Homo-oligomer: A and B are copies of this chain.
Amino acid sequence: MLTIGQLAAYAGVTARAVRHYHQIGLLPEPERDASGYRRYGATAAVSLIKIRTLADAGTPLSEIGQMLEADASTFAEAVQRIDGRLRDEIERLETSRKQIAQLTAGDNLALPPEVISYLDRLREIGVSERIVDGERDGWILVAARWPDHIREVMAGKHAQLDDPQMVRLYRVLSEISEDDPPDGLLEEAADIMAGLAEQAYTSGGINVGGMAYDDLAFDLLDALVLETDPRAQRLVDLMRERGWTGWNRLERLAEPPGQPLS
């Protein structure tokens, strides 16, 4: 007669596992000896080995009991089910591995390559790291909201960088984001933005289907800028003076500036 430890050792499991199988009714509780110890016979050893065989093959404990009593066809059916689950799980993990491989290449954090190259180009232009970080976070929001439009949008943004005015704007914004920016820069930035907005307005700007102007994401983008640097509010105000409202999605004010709206 075996003690629980001997039985467990024979089957290559821990005593705790055996007790667990008792608890869930998978292995019947054996007789106790005079001192209360569990005492096992050979059939228990056989049962335990069968249980471990199925468990090692990926069978959930909750199904092992039925499988041990099942006929051949029911058994085969169960095996199919379990194999299918294993396959799904493997597939999931393979997907995870692919995704994590994408993350290895720097701090891109799930951003598509188009965005990464745009950020790199900003750095080349001399845009401050602080601004680039802000851009990155913004694009994270955009990529989450419109994963299928991101390439189109980025193509447009890349083109915009060919305009020297846009480059100038980014550089001015970089200076503004410094701890102690020179005076007058805010106004200069607002002037450039207003010019670019005018240009975009007449040429039609970047219009991508599926990106509705009243989308929550635009509000989030605007909010993100203000959360990142509250001084941005000043720029918004200056733009309003110049006849534009909003930030990531500039719109021409209906009323001329200086006039009360109501």
Which residues of chain A from 98 to 136 have any CB-CB distance to chain B below 8 Å in the complex?
99-104, 106-107, 109-110
Chain A residues touching B, range: 35 or more
Task: Check A42 against B221 for contact (C-beta < 8 Å).
Answer: yes
Task: Tell me the smallest distance from the CB of A225 to a CB of chain B, in Å.
Answer: 8
Task: Check B87 against A97 for contact (C-beta < 8 Å).
Answer: yes
- Chain B residue at smallest Cβ distance from A90: B93
Residues A42 and B100 in contact in the complex (CB < 8 Å), given A93-B90, A107-B72, A216-B10: no
Q: Mark A200-237, 1 if CB is under 8 A from B, else 0.
A: 00000000000000001100110110011000000000
Residues A103 and B141 in contact in the complex (CB < 8 Å), given A10-B216, A227-B42: no
A41 / chain B contacts, CB cutoff of 8 Å: 223-224, 227
Task: Check B140 against A42 for contact (C-beta < 8 Å).
Answer: no
Apart from A57-B110, A75-B107, A79-B104, list 8 A-B contacts with CB within 8 A. Answer: A10-B220, A41-B227, A49-B144, A50-B110, A57-B100, A72-B106, A75-B103, A89-B93
**Residues of A near any B CB (own CB < 8 A):** 2, 6, 10-12, 41-43, 45-46, 49-50, 53-54, 56-59, 72, 75-76, 79, 82-83, 86-87, 89-90, 93-94, 96-97, 99-104, 106-107, 109-110, 137, 140-141, 144-145, 216-217, 220-221, 223-224, 227-228
What are 8 A-B pairs with beta-carbon distances under 8 A? A2-B220, A10-B145, A11-B144, A43-B224, A46-B137, A46-B140, A46-B224, A79-B103
